[in-house]
Amino acid sequence: MALHYQTEYRIGPRRVHRAYSGYQAFVAILFDLVFGLLFEFVATFFSLALKLVMFACNILFHVMKCTWKVAVAVMAAVVFTLTLPFVILHRAIAQLAPTADFWRRDRFAGSARKPEWSGSREV
What is the residue extent of each domain of the chain? 4-96
The span from the CA of 67 to the CA of 49, in Å, is 26
SS3 state of residue 5:
strand
Strands (E), 1-123: 4-11, 14-21
Rounded to whole angstroms, how far apart are CA atoms 18 and 10?
11
β-strand pairing of 4-11 with 14-21: antiparallel
pTM of the model: 0.45
Per-residue pLDDT of the chain (123 residues; tens, 9 = 90+): 578 888 888 888 899 888 888 888 889 889 999 999 999 999 999 999 999 999 999 998 988 888 888 888 889 999 999 999 999 998 888 788 766 566 555 555 556 666 666 666 655
How far apart CA 45 and CA 30 sit, in angstroms, is: 22
What pLDDT score does 112 carry?
67
**Per-residue confidence (pLDDT) for residue 11, from 0 to 100:** 85
